[in-house]
Amino acid sequence: MIEDILGVDLGGSKMHFIIYHDGKLIEERYPTGVDCTSEPIRDHLYDFLDRLGFKPRAIGMAIPGGVNAEGTFITLTDSLPMTCYTPASYFTRDGIPIRMLGDMHSAILAAAEPYPDDVNVTIVMMGSGVAYGSRSWDQASGKVGYGGMDLGYIVFDTPEGPKHLNSIAGGRSILRAAGMEGPELAQKVREKDPKAMEVIDRVGYFVGMAMSTVRLTTHPKVIALGGGASTYEGMFEKIRDTFDKTCLPLYREGVEIIRPNVPTSLVGEGAIIFARDTFFPEERGA
């Protein structure tokens, strides 16, 4: 547990603040949306800081898109286009240091944190779209590297014709196929409703197929599955079962499929880790 560093998970539907203090998790969520500008994000963040009762040591902010190499401003985000080119300094005050990173980079930091650097870890995230991030050990340099890409535009042959993965397994696509919103779908799945289970089986099948492709390109020892759409009951098992059946045996051997063990936002946790490694590198591994 990394204490007194604020992690911010900015997304296309919500902003999520998380921080640990005196062994306890403090978190709050607020809605965003495609028309959300930087001002309400800053205002909610300042309000959260006012009510904390202590000053965070640093802030890590994860963006659903790109940031510059130094992590000091947003370069591109389709999910929050009105925030593009906002500097990180706009969101902080009282001298609290802040850095930004992409949300996939943040997710892989959190998923890989429990493992030694020389263990290659990949995470597949199921949110508004499907993407993966990876951490790989470079034997020659003795350093870790990070990479990732959007999986949502992989095209699969389906009974309805060719479809890209996001149109099957993206968050809104899942709800459209089910004809209901998330809480109702979650309840119907728990009740083993046939239509709901059909949606979960279909999504899990195609994401499992995509994970087989990821395995061939990233060579991980661990593949983690995260994101809100992965949490429907039975989704993890369907994806894992499809992966087992479709991945070549030589490549399936020795790969562990996991759910990341974090109590809250995976991306927010990664933002905390990023801020620790940036501003307090001596604490890494402590």
User: In the chain, which ranges are continuous DSSP H helix?
Assistant: 38-52, 103-112, 166-169, 171-178, 182-190, 194-218, 235-246, 249-252, 266-279
Q: Is 187 helix (H, G, I), strand (E, B) or coil?
A: helix
Over 70: is that where the pLDDT of 286 sits?
no
C-alpha to C-alpha distances, 66 to 102, 179, 250, 267, 274, nearest whole angstrom:
5, 32, 35, 14, 15
**Are 64 and 237 within 8 A, CB to CB?**
no
Q: What is the mean pLDDT of the chain?
A: 93
pLDDT 10s digits, 171-217: 889 999 999 998 999 999 999 999 999 999 999 999 999 999 888 88
Q: Which residue has the tokens 């020892």?
A: 221
Confidence bin at 264 (pLDDT 50/70/90): confident
Q: Could you tell me the pTM of the whole model?
A: 0.88
Q: Report d(CA 235, CA 87) in Å as an integer.
A: 38
Q: Report d(CA 168, CA 72) in Å as an integer.
A: 35
- In the 3-class helix/strand/coil scheme, how is 190-214 assigned residue by residue? HCCCHHHHHHHHHHHHHHHHHHHHH
Over 70: is that where the pLDDT of 251 sits?
yes
Q: Report d(CA 152, CA 167) in Å as an integer.
A: 8
pLDDT 10s digits, 101-156: 999 999 999 999 999 999 999 999 998 889 999 999 988 888 899 888 888 889 99
Q: pLDDT exceeding 90 applies to what percent of the chain?
A: 74
Over 80: is that where the pLDDT of 267 sits?
yes
What is the torsion angle, in degrees rounded to the nearest 10, for the CA atoms of residue 232, residue 66, residue 16 and residue 106?
70
Give the rounded distance of the alpha carbon of 210 from its chain centre.
17
**Are 170 and 128 within 8 A, CB to CB?**
yes
Q: Is 6 helix (H, G, I), strand (E, B) or coil?
A: strand
Closest among 199, 164, 167 to 181, alpha carbons compared: 199
C-alpha to C-alpha distances, 96 to 49, 58, 88, 92, 183, nearest whole angstrom:
11, 5, 11, 6, 37
**Are 137 and 120 within 8 A, CB to CB?**
yes
Q: Residue 257: left if φ>0, alpha if ψ -120 to 50, beta else—which one?
A: beta
Angle at 180 between CA 176 and CA 181, to 5 degrees: 100
